[in-house]
A and B are shown apart, each in its own frame.
Chain A
Amino acid sequence: MIRFDVHVTAAGGLHARPAALLVNNAGQFQSKVTVIKDQKKADGKSILGIMTLGASLGDWLTFEIEGADEEQAAAALKELFDKQFES
């Protein structure tokens, strides 16, 4: 399992657009993706789950990725945050 933390730097936090992009990225991998904010856990492949975390600008999120392609999935998701969801 790979575990890492990211800092939410997108203005407005993980609202609909970034949540959709995150889930879309996570969905391209077989690995199970869990996103955690203050003990609250969400399925990284559920848009509503991610939105319900209510991650705001400045929050820290923990990702837990587990599966055969966990390294690729982790790299893709980290990049998404590094680029602040701008493709």
Chain B
Amino acid sequence: MLRGLFSRKKQQQEVTLLAPLTGEVVALTEVPDPVFAQKVVGDGAAIIPTEGVLVSPLAGSVTHLFPTHHAIALTSESGLEILLHIGIDTVKLKGEGFTPHVKAGDQVKPGDKLISFDLDVLQKAGCPIVTPVVITNGDLVAEKKVVSTGSVRAGQEPLMQVIVKGGAS
């Protein structure tokens, strides 16, 4: 019924990713892990958190919650796949210090709480707390820019603006 209306708009779609953490925005190249810094996982940005609450940057669904709860993957309504990886080498904590609030398959809204984590546990274990926020299916991205620098508040300020290519689905 509404197909005709929507198909015209299918060309390109602009998606805003809100900051998923409160903290300091840094370039992905500053992340002390080559797979993130060299953008092997995908392009994006990173945040050094000052508070241990990860929220959803956009509307979408939880595609994958790692069994160790240190990372989560979301898929936006426009098909964008986002990986939020709390800290570096945090897989070795085996879930200690992480409390998930969602599970795979859940629908989330921008600002919804995804995972709480204890910054002290990460730091005592020697894990860098810098958290990459990356788009893992960059082939869908027509254009993107990181719109924040300096400090951001979780779920309240935009981190990235992305234009998704049309005809993705």
Chain A interface residues toward B at CB < 8 A: 11-12, 15-17, 20-21, 24, 46-48, 51-52, 54, 56
Which of B33, B67, B137 touches A48 (beta carbons < 8 Å)? B137
**Chain B positions near chain A (C-beta within 8 angstroms):** 33, 35, 40-42, 63-64, 66-68, 71, 73, 75, 81, 83, 85, 91-92, 136-137
Query: Does B41 contact A52, Cβ atoms closer than 8 Å?
Result: no
Chain A nearest Cβ from B160, distance in angstroms:
18
Complex Cα distance, B125 from A35, in Å, reads 33
Chain B residues within 8 Å of A17, by CB: 33, 35
Q: How far is the CA of A15 from the CA of B137 in the complex (A)?
A: 17
Please state if A46 and B73 are interface contacts (CB–CB under 8 Å): no
Expressed in whole angstroms, the Cα–Cα distance for A16 and B136 within the complex equals 11
Evaluate whether A16 and B35 lie within 8 angstroms (CB atoms) in the complex, with A47-B83, A48-B136 already known.
yes
